[in-house]
Amino acid sequence: MNAIISNNELPQDDFAVEREDLLRVDNVSLSFGGVKAITNISFDIKKGEIRAIIGPNGAGKTSMLNVINGFYHPQEGTITWQGKVRRKMKPYEAASQGIARTFQNVALFKGMTTLDNIMSGRSLKMRKNFFLQMAWIGPARTEEIEHRKKVEEIIDFLEIEAIRKTPVGRLPYGLQKRVELGRALAMEPDLLLLDEPMAGMNLEEKEDMSRFILDVNQEFGTTIALIEHDMGVVMDLSDRVVVLDYGKKIADGAPGDVQASQAVIDAYLGVSH
Amino acid sequence: MKNFKQFAIGSAVALAIGASGYVAEAAAEDGNYVPLLTYRTGPYAGSGIHIANGMNDYLQMLNERDGGIGGVKIVIEECETGYNAQKGVECYEATKGKNAVVYNPYSTGITLQLIPKAAVDKIPVLSMGYGLSAAADGNTFPWVFNVPDTYWDGASVAIKYIGEQEGGLENLKGKKIGYIFLDAGYGREPIPLFEQMAEKFGFELVKYAVPGKEMQNQSSQWLNVRRDRPDYMIMWGWGAMSPTAIKEAVKIRYPMDKFIGVWWSAGDDDAAAGGEGAKGYKAMNFSGVGSDYPAIQDIKKLVVDAGKSQTDPESIGSTLYNRGVLNSVIIAEGIRAAQQLTGKKVITGEDMRAGLETLDLTNERLAELGLTGFAHPMKVTCEDHAGSHPVFIQQWDGEKWAVASGWIEPMKDLVRPLLEAAAKDYAEKNAPWPKRTEACPN
Amino acid sequence: MLYDIFIDPFVQMVEMPDFFLQVLWEGFVAGILYALIALGFVLIFKASGVFNFAQGIMVVFAGLTLVGLHENGVPAFLALILTIGVMGVLAYGIERVVMRPLVNQPDIILLMATIGLTYFLIGFGEFVFGGEPKRMIAEELGLPTGSTAFEMGERGLVILQHIDIAAAVIAIIMVTALGIFFNKTRIGRALRAVADDHQAALSVGISLNQIWAIVWFAAGLVALATGIMWGARSDVSFALEIVAFKALPVLILGGFTSIPGAIIGGLIIGFGEKIGEIYWGGLVGGGIESWLAYIIALIFLLFRPQGLFGEKIIERV
Amino acid sequence: MFYREAGQFKTSYEADQSLFPIRQDRIGLAVILLVAFIVIPLTANDFFLTSIMIPFLVFSLAAIGLNVLTGFAGQLSLGSGAFMGVGAYAAYKLTSIFPDVNVIFLVLVSGVFSAGVGAIFGLPSLRIKGLYLAVTTLAAQFFLEWCFIRIPWLYNYNASGAIEIPKREMFGVTISGAEATPIARYFVVLVITVLIAGLIANVMRGRIGRSWMMIRDMDIAAELMGIRPLQTKLLAFAVSSYICGVAGAMMVFFWLNAAEPSSYSITLSFQILFMVILGGLGSIAGSFMGAAFIWILPVFLKFVPGAIGIEIGAETVEHLTFMIVGALIIFFLIVEPHGFARLWQIGKQKLRVWPFPY
């Protein structure tokens, strides 16, 4: 058996050693009134990598993302963001520090158009105050148009020009996922958290989405943390994989190694503990 | 379906906007147009219906019996306000163009809205025994009439009557008098006078406010009454407040003969709500009790029995019904006086103002009208549009009202200075308030 | 000032214990009546997620129907039975005309629909019965109307109205009956199933329409009981409708879906309001009853947003 | 056919983001403004102005105010009536303290007070949502109403407990008080309403408007995208209350002339809410349509039957009005829960593809 299975002291592979940590999670535990969602988990995300988080249903993957972007506050453990230990923070603070995400169940702003949804990703970057906005003419309009240009670039990139003015509630699921990705990209994040971006998609849509994720990573250099159930996609896309089961980390390493790990196979196939 | 929807909505909105602009503005040429701002709906309908019936039926009767006033019919139109000031203004705006001669808002709120408009549109406001007390000052408010009495007159009568019961006003010293009132302009209006009298006569005034929303839920107020044990209770209630208060008073076993309501809390239904226990409840009044008056019999015969009214025959002669009748008597006499003054048959609001200012309802005149003893003689002067006329106390015997005192004069010496000060204050606060330019017709 | 706020009220409570007891009793009775109104809300909210603003007007409508029938010569008990029938027809009508076409709409739309219903019933009720307040036919229905006084000490006196006692008894019977109905009968189980998940309930063959008609009918019965009790205290009139707003803070305290919560919430508001008004209201000029309940609910919400009996909500993404 | 945008190309983002990108809409708006500013003043009678147009505009503005909060930011409020009251009382106090300052300026300033009060009562919105929030706004409604009655300073210790609007002039024209002509009041109300509606429409197409809609549609996602929920909600409360406050002040200054506390009761709050819901949540044009419907329909029902010779008792009309308004509310909620604004859009879509069905 390979050493990567042991929980604590993990040998770093070559890829990881070269790059610096963007985010470190150390010994994090989270529980809801007695129910443990996450138990003592540590891992890191390196700058520029695609890091997959996998595990069976209920393993605590989404809870982990919620911890990372400040929506849940772990009872124990620390999170280090770009070298600084982060205190308890609000989700909007995490957002302003450069963490963006998409959601397992699409969380688009249903009453707004595709364009407005993606524009909403620019909120943090817009500054003009209420009174300027009321007047519209002048700085507020200039700012709006400037950001509109950026958004149009993203729309081009994701190939969703045709649905620009369509309210997102009317779009098919696959496109909604794409718009959601666009919205996260509009924030120009340092770290992009993708929560099952390909759930419920057919093969073709999955291929498109995979291509977008790789492009984002390579063209914009965005670090990506990815939760996904499709092992093929995970193995192809990600640089490193962390595996959770019942709120505990059971494996961490390069895709190939993880795939071969007995603990992972047990977790997925179901072995009595 | 979709098409139909748009069509329906589109045409409904278009029709509504278009047609409501062309609401009949045609003046009533062949009669004196009297709009009645009434309320038969809403939380105060319980009191409003009787008033509305009384006002309507008397004018109707004049039309039936005498063919109107001075040979000209009265054109009566009711407009429903629901005791709501917005709707009241709406009614006013919709009817004033038809050569309305006078308005009776029957709501302190609506009266306040109309007071400043009256001078501009030149249509007098007759707020009989309600509205702004200060409006009795005819020099400041030439267009507003609140004959026969203001609330302040009523407040002074209540205290005077209590004084009589105690064997003289000087015996009020050290007594505790509770005042339970509808927490609105209406109920708050008498407070300054009560406070002044409390100081002067040395009694303690305890106030119990009943919010309009809570008027059917007064147990807290009456618990407080029970704790404070006032020697007398005075009530300024309207609508559903009065019967609830009487019930609660019965419940805490308050001595009913020491519980005195203003003339608006003198409804038959109000007292009847208290059942057997309400026996002894007293209320001020200035309009006749019962239906044994020839004029009221005429109403019964010519209007109600003829099916020309919505009045429930049993309610004829009830206090609030008779109050409505008295209101219409004043309107009719005002029109008559105006006709005599101007020689015109169809009068305008300006004529009516002059007519009301010369109003002199003597005992002889009342007898001519078939209303002997229905009200105290009343007279309006240019200075005094209320006249501070005497008021009597009636008592509930378990089934009907019975007169329980003679006519009691209000304390004019106390009320009048306060009225004048209040009128001055009003004019100052609403500066620039127009000076009186209307000549005195007397 | 501080003395008036922190000490004097308690001194008064101790000095006049009979009066304090009376205040508590009045609070209790008011609380029971609030609870009855809240109960109507809870029934409908539980089964359909609709916040039924029309409950207040249903109280008035039921009371007016009862009194109106009696005034037209129908014997009291027959009138009661007929009124129950009318409430049944009303429930069926509401289900058919309002609820069914609006199924699956957002909460606020359903809320607005019930406000629309309120307007309609105000107009309809006044159209049929007229606007004047009517005396409740408590005696004719065999409800006690007298009062009993208990003497305490020298001047002490606690007066209990028999009608209030009857109200309390009826409220307890209704809550028990509803409890049994919900927990022990087939329809009750179906009702709880619907409350948990409409679609799942549909998929196991429960008829939503039938259930809704039943809860609206049950709410109508509660409204009738409330109408009789409240009507006997004051009068049956349209001004009573406003009392329905008091049910909101009660529901906040008790939770929107809990029947015992409605009762306990009602009692807390009833006691709180009366004690607050009597002992502290005078400090700010009285009349604080009109908003005290809401402020109590508001403060309560800030500390425990899920209500007394609700569980802490875990938000998920 | 007539409403077709084909051939209208936008060459800049600027043009694409304008309020009315389609030419026909711009023409339509121009016609409406022409009617409002020229045709109506020239032809309308006093009744039409004072009982229909002025209240309609005042209510439209109030509905826009509530729409900012409920329609755009998704926070249900039952307290708009009281916030209107705060504006009215503030404007009244201001004009009695500064009688020489232009009353329109004071009306606009009075909104600041209601904005403050609104923001205070908006504080719980951080923790409370939906119906629960409705209760806190109800607390605001009842508490403020109580204040209007119990704080005599607010109404200058008038014995009547009501506020009465004194005569005020601007450029030699009387614009408030009983002597002000309906035309003068109409113009004041029209200008303020159109102006605020325009400014709010601008806010709605920019960042702040979007941030409100983000909170409305998915508050958690909005927060994860960097929207500060408290600030955003409080801003919505403040802006909404400001507009309601100005509308409330206009209501008493340019329409009613006097107001009692009961003028700003829960009934008013409900009326405004009806307008917003029927007009369409999140639509400024819908606010106007909703206000027109809720205000004008009862007036229509009240006066038209009599005018065309149908004899119905005044109270029967009132009863029927209640029944019809109630039934229509339910009817419209059933056929189109998104209000007139959506119907209007559907209508435009139909026109666009006419004569084909789609």
Cα gap C62→D290, rounded to integer Å:
32
**Do C24 and C35 contact (CB within 8 A), yes or no?**
no
Cα nearest neighbour of B96 on chain D: D47
Residues on chain B touching D261 (C-beta within 8 angstroms): 184
- Res A272 pLDDT > 70: no
Q: What pLDDT does residue B25 have?
A: 42
CA distances in angstroms from D152 to C285, C292, D75, D139, listed in the order given: 11, 20, 32, 21
Cα gap D56→D251, rounded to integer Å:
10
Q: What pLDDT does residue B4 have?
A: 45
Is C317 close to A32, i.e. CB distance below 8 A? no
Looking at the complex, does the CB of residue C314 fall below 8 Å from at least one CB of chain A? yes
Within this chain, do residues B141 and B207 fall inside the same structural domain, yes or no?
no
Which residue ranges make up each domain of chain A? 1-98+228-273
Within this chain, do residues B160 and B294 fall inside the same structural domain, yes or no?
no
- Res A8 pLDDT > 50: no
Cα nearest neighbour of A61 on chain C: C317
Of the residues A114, A120, A145, the best mutation for testing chain D's interface (the one with the most D CB atoms within 10 Å of its CB) is: A120
Question: Which strands form A76-81's sheet, in the order they lie side by side?
Answer: A35-46, A21-32, A76-81, A84-86
Beta-carbon pairs below 8 A across chains C and D? 132
D249 against B253, higher pLDDT: D249
- Chain A nearest-CA distance from D214, in A, is 6
Within this chain, do residues B73 and B45 fall inside the same structural domain, yes or no?
yes
Within this chain, do residues B146 and B162 fall inside the same structural domain, yes or no?
no
Within this chain, do residues B108 and B252 fall inside the same structural domain, yes or no?
no
Confidence of residue B236 (pLDDT cuts 50, 70, 90): very high
In a domain, B247, yes or no: yes
Cα gap B180→B188, rounded to integer Å:
10
Residues on chain A touching C314 (C-beta within 8 angstroms): 32
**Do B427 and B320 contact (CB within 8 A), yes or no?**
no
| Touch of B by C (3+ CB pairs closer than 8 Å) | yes
A17 against C99, higher pLDDT: C99
**Secondary structure letter of residue A11 according to DSSP:** P
Instruction: Express as a percent the part of chain A with pLDDT over 70.
Output: 92
pLDDT in tens, C49-92: 788 888 889 999 999 999 989 888 888 889 999 999 999 999 99
Does residue D229 have a cis peptide bond before it, meaning omega lies within 30 degrees of 0?
Answer: no
Q: What pLDDT does residue C253 have?
A: 84
Residue C62: name the closest of C87, C34, C33 by CA: C87
B122 Rama class: left (phi>0) / alpha (psi -120 to 50) / beta: left
Domains of chain D by start residue, with CATH: 44-353 (1.10.3470)
DSSP secondary structure, B317-347, as one string: T-HHHHHHHHHHHHHHHHHHHHHHHH--SS-
Within this chain, do residues B282 and B158 fall inside the same structural domain, yes or no?
yes
**Do C227 and C62 contact (CB within 8 A), yes or no?**
yes
Mark out the alpha helices in chain A (DSSP H runs): 14-18, 61-68, 91-96, 114-120, 130-135, 139-158, 173-186, 203-215, 231-237, 255-260, 262-269
- The DSSP element (H or E) to which A243 belongs, if any, is strand A240-245
Cα gap A260→A270, rounded to integer Å:
16
In the stretch 226-245 of chain C, residues with CB closer than 8 A to chain D read 242, 245
Looking at the complex, does the CB of residue A266 fall below 8 Å from at least one CB of chain D? no
Q: Environment class of residue D27 by beta-carbon count within 10 Å: exposed (0-12), middle (13-18) or buried (19+)?
A: exposed
pLDDT in tens, D201-224: 989 888 899 999 999 888 888 888
Cα nearest neighbour of C284 on chain D: D150
Which backbone phi and psi does A190 adopt, to 5 degrees? -80, -35
**Do A159 and A179 contact (CB within 8 A), yes or no?**
no
Which backbone phi and psi does B179 adopt, to 5 degrees? -125, 110
Q: Which residues contact A85 (CB under 8 A, 6 or more apart)?
A: A78, A79
Q: Round to the nearest angstrom and report the end-to-end CA distance of chain A.
A: 19
Looking at the complex, does the CB of residue D334 fall below 8 Å from at least one CB of chain C? yes
DSSP secondary structure, D167-192, as one string: PEEETTEEEESTTS-HHHHHHHHHHH
Q: What pLDDT does residue B393 have?
A: 93
Residues on chain B touching C133 (C-beta within 8 angstroms): 46, 240, 243, 269, 273
What single-letter amino acid sits at D262? Answer: S
Q: At what angle do helices D182-204 and D229-250 cross, to 10 degrees?
A: 170
Is A130 close to D200, i.e. CB distance below 8 A? no
Residues on chain C touching D316 (C-beta within 8 angstroms): 127
- Chain C nearest-CA distance from B435, in A, is 37
Neighbours of chain A (3+ CB pairs under 8 A): C, D
What single-letter amino acid sits at C222? Answer: V
Residues on chain C touching A63 (C-beta within 8 angstroms): none
Which residue ranges make up each domain of chain C? 18-245
Q: How far is CA B439 from the centre of its chain?
A: 27
Instruction: Express as a percent the part of chain C with pLDDT over 70.
Output: 94
Cα gap C113→C103, rounded to integer Å:
11
- Chain B nearest-CA distance from D227, in A, is 38
Q: What pLDDT does residue C208 have?
A: 80
Instruction: Express as a percent the part of chain B with pLDDT over 70.
Output: 93
Q: What pLDDT does residue D333 have?
A: 85
Q: Round to the nearest angstrom and report the end-to-end CA distance of chain B.
A: 69
| Touch of A by D (3+ CB pairs closer than 8 Å) | yes
Mean pLDDT value across residues A243-267: 86
Within this chain, do residues B272 and B401 fall inside the same structural domain, yes or no?
yes
Looking at the complex, does the CB of residue B243 fall below 8 Å from at least one CB of chain C? yes
pLDDT means over runs of 10, chain D (358 residues): 67 74 81 88 85 93 94 90 95 90 92 94 82 84 89 82 82 82 91 94 89 89 87 93 95 87 87 89 90 86 71 76 86 83 81 72
Query: Tokens 């002074």 appear where?
Result: B156
- The DSSP element (H or E) to which C186 belongs, if any, is helix C186-196
Is B5 close to D343, i.e. CB distance below 8 A? yes
Mark out the alpha helices in B275-406 (DSSP H runs): 294-298, 319-342, 349-357, 363-368
Sign of CA dihedral A88, A91, A92, A93: positive
Looking at the complex, does the CB of residue D166 fall below 8 Å from at least one CB of chain B? yes
In a domain, B438, yes or no: no
A54-85 CB burial, b ≥16 within 10 A, e <16: bbbeebbbbbbbbbbbbbbebeebebebeeee
Residues on chain B touching D52 (C-beta within 8 angstroms): 17, 20-21
pLDDT in tens, B191-225: 889 999 999 999 999 999 888 777 888 888 898 89
- Chain D nearest-CA distance from C99, in A, is 9
CA distances in angstroms from B136 to B129, B301, B423, listed in the order given: 10, 36, 8
Query: Tokens 């016609």 appear where?
Result: D31
Of B364-368, B418-422, C221-225, C307-311, give the lowest mean pLDDT range. Answer: C307-311
Pairing of strands A191-195, A223-227: parallel
Is B211 close to C287, i.e. CB distance below 8 A? yes
Confidence of residue B187 (pLDDT cuts 50, 70, 90): confident
Mark out the alpha helices in D44-171 (DSSP H runs): 46-47, 54-66, 80-97, 103-122, 130-150
Looking at the complex, does the CB of residue A130 fall below 8 Å from at least one CB of chain D? yes
CA distances in angstroms from B294 to B290, B313, B365, C14, listed in the order given: 11, 16, 14, 61
User: What tokens does B250 get?
Assistant: 């019965």
- What's the fold here for domain A1-98+228-273? Rossmann fold (3.40.50)
pLDDT in tens, A76-127: 888 898 888 887 788 888 888 889 999 888 888 888 889 989 998 888 888 7
| Touch of A by C (3+ CB pairs closer than 8 Å) | yes
Cα gap A214→A220, rounded to integer Å:
10
Beta-carbon pairs below 8 A across chains A and C? 11
Looking at the complex, does the CB of residue A119 fall below 8 Å from at least one CB of chain D? yes
Residues of chain C with pLDDT under 70: 153-155, 306-307, 309-317
Is C123 close to D320, i.e. CB distance below 8 A? yes
Q: How far is CA C9 from the centre of its chain?
A: 29
Is D162 close to B17, i.e. CB distance below 8 A? no
Q: How far is CA B299 from the centre of its chain?
A: 21
- What's the domain count of chain B? 2
Using CB atoms, pick whichever of C108, C113, C301 lies closest to residue D132.
C301
Residue C232: name the closest of B235, B246, B247, B223 by CA: B247
Neighbours of chain B (3+ CB pairs under 8 A): C, D
Cα gap D203→A134, rounded to integer Å:
5
Residue B177, helix vs strand vs coil = strand
Residues on chain C touching A71 (C-beta within 8 angstroms): 315, 317
CA atoms within 13 A on the CB side of A252: 17
Q: What pLDDT does residue D358 have?
A: 63
In the stretch 198-257 of chain D, residues with CB closer than 8 A to chain C read 220-221, 224
Is C317 close to A62, i.e. CB distance below 8 A? yes
Which backbone phi and psi does D74 adopt, to 5 degrees? 75, 20
Instruction: Express as a percent the part of chain B with pLDDT over 90.
Output: 30
Of the residues C301, C304, C315, C316, the best mutation for testing chain D's interface (the one with the most D CB atoms within 10 Å of its CB) is: C301
- Chain B nearest-CA distance from C240, in A, is 6
Beta bridge partners of B209: B181
Q: How far is CA D85 from the centre of its chain?
A: 14
- Res B29 pLDDT > 80: no
Is C159 close to B42, i.e. CB distance below 8 A? no
Residue B178: name the closest of B207, B139, B146, B155 by CA: B207
Cα gap A136→A131, rounded to integer Å:
9
- Chain D nearest-CA distance from A40, in A, is 25
Q: What pLDDT does residue A4 have?
A: 39
Cα gap B348→B100, rounded to integer Å:
7
Cα nearest neighbour of D239 on chain A: A130
For the beta carbon of residue B414, count every other beta carbon within 10 angstroms.
Answer: 19
Looking at the complex, does the CB of residue B417 fall below 8 Å from at least one CB of chain D? no
Confidence of residue B181 (pLDDT cuts 50, 70, 90): very high
For residue B257, the enclosing domain spans: 151-287+391-411
Using CB atoms, pick whichever of D166, D300, D350 lies closest to residue B20.
D300
- Chain C nearest-CA distance from B209, in A, is 6
- The DSSP element (H or E) to which C251 belongs, if any, is helix C247-254
Looking at the complex, does the CB of residue C5 fall below 8 Å from at least one CB of chain D? no
